[in-house]
Amino acid sequence: GKAGHDHYMHKEIHEQPNALRQAISGRIDELAGNASLDIDLDDRFLQAIDEIHIVACGTSYHAGLYAKELLEELVDITVRVDLASEYEVCDGHDTRRTLVVAVTQSGETADTLSAIRRAKAPGMTTLAVTNTVGSTITREVDDSLFIKAGPEIGVAATKTFVSQVTALALFATYLGRLRGTLTAGEGVDILGNIRQLPNAVQSVLDSESRIRRLADQYTGSDAFFFIGRGPAYPVALESALKLKEISYAHAEGFAAGELKHGPLALVTENTPVLAFLNQSASPEETLNNVKEVESRGAPVICLSTPGETASFCNHTIEIPDIGRLEPLVANVALQLFAYHVAHEMGRPIDKPRNLAKSVTVE
Ligand code: F6R
């Protein structure tokens, strides 16, 4: 049941600290500064790969984009992220030195299964990052990494997103240590950030009443824009997807630097802009983008580390600074924002119109 919550989505948002503890449990080797993952892919193969292709849809695609940031930084490897429905393998590609990673909560998404089949045809090695033991994808890939988020019933993916990124952060740490791009000390560092996640997410959940007031204040706006850079860019896309699917409001996410290349034309006094000022990706530059929207009269809600409050922000939601994972925590604040906008509008939050929990047609 919903255990006292009005919706499964609300329950699942609040389950995130525990989902994270499950995703992390037993997977951190503090002494070695390494992740210990229950995967069977051969270490020699993982040392030899020179490319990773990530394929996924929707929220899982956003998790893949976040993982690309982590993999490029920690493993120093070329990563390509494709929407599963758009994934094509070029002729002549060195298929023996590529790992294809399918990110799928359900393990049943037709587009993702079909992308995996296209990868397998020329002989590429495949890994599924999934929540569902025994799902179709786990029977088709070479290996699976389980995110252990527990069942997710609300159509909107919430806790599985944070758990996907966390599992992929552990995987990136493992690869970095294996390939020598990450020292034990750097491993301890990133694992420390991962360990802080459950409490950091809890601190955002504890500020729900404030986030709810902001949602109430801006419900009915013409549109909502989300901007971020680095790992906050996929979170901007994800926050916009969450808001549009459950509230039916017009919402879009942009890379902060792209605003001035077109979307700025949409900004008015009635389009709140939610901006991520994460420390890990030049918050000063994002602040310049915030100024651009503020001077056009848009209300600005900033998500930033305590103490970094800027005068152009009309409101600030404080997010604990946990390095490259800060945007993952900020995402939780915007899940609550989306939830309360949709609630205020009386939407059927757990079953939005036209959507299904798992999409089994291409
Ligand atoms: C959005 C959402 C969808 C799914 C997408 C992929 O809240 O839930 O965008 O993320 O349909 O589903 P999985 O991860 O099961 O492959």
156 lines ligand 1 (CB under 6 A): yes
Please give the DSSP secondary-structure letter assigned to residue 362: -
**Token pair recorded at residue 241:** 């997807």
How far is it, in rounded angstroms, from Cα 236 to Cα 239?
5
Whole-number average pLDDT of the chain? 96
**Token pair recorded at residue 72:** 């490029």
129 lines ligand 1 (CB under 6 A): no
C-beta separation of 236 from 265 below 8 A:
no
147 lines ligand 1 (CB under 6 A): no
Q: Positive or negative, the Cα torsion across 196, 22, 26, 230?
A: negative
Q: Whose CA is nearest to atom 5 of ligand 1?
A: 58
Q: What is the pLDDT of residue 91?
A: 77
ipTM beyond cut 0.90? yes
Q: Whose CA is nearest to atom 3 of ligand 1?
A: 58
**Nearest atom within ligand 1 for CA of residue 357:** 8
**Mutate-to-test residue for ligand 1 from 9, 137, 359, 361, highest number of ligand atoms within 8 A of CB:** 359
pLDDT, tens digit only, all 362 positions of the chain: 899 999 999 999 999 999 999 999 999 998 999 999 999 999 999 999 999 999 999 999 999 999 999 999 999 899 999 999 999 988 777 899 999 999 999 999 999 999 999 999 999 999 999 999 999 999 999 999 999 999 999 999 999 999 999 999 999 999 999 999 999 999 999 999 999 999 999 999 999 999 999 999 999 999 999 999 999 999 999 999 999 999 999 999 999 999 999 999 999 999 999 999 988 888 889 999 999 999 999 999 999 988 766 788 999 999 999 999 999 999 999 999 999 999 999 999 999 999 989 888 89
**Token pair recorded at residue 156:** 């909107």
CA 107 – ligand 1 centroid, Å: 10
CA 151 – ligand 1 centroid, Å: 14
111 lines ligand 1 (CB under 6 A): no
CA 104 – ligand 1 centroid, Å: 7
Q: Annotate 175-222 with DSSP letters as a single string.
A: HHHHTTSS-HHHHHHHHHHHHHHHHHHHHHHTTHHHHHHHHHHHTT-S
**Mutate-to-test residue for ligand 1 from 55, 109, 360, highest number of ligand atoms within 8 A of CB:** 109
**Mutate-to-test residue for ligand 1 from 8, 13, 55, 60, highest number of ligand atoms within 8 A of CB:** 60
Task: List the end-to-end C-alpha distance of the chain, in Å, as a whole number.
Answer: 31
Model pTM above 0.90: yes
331 lines ligand 1 (CB under 6 A): no
For 120-139, the pLDDT digits (tens) are: 999 999 999 999 999 999 99
- Beta pairing partners, 252: 225
CA 292 – ligand 1 centroid, Å: 33
59 lines ligand 1 (CB under 6 A): yes
**Mutate-to-test residue for ligand 1 from 12, 105, 162, 242, highest number of ligand atoms within 8 A of CB:** 105
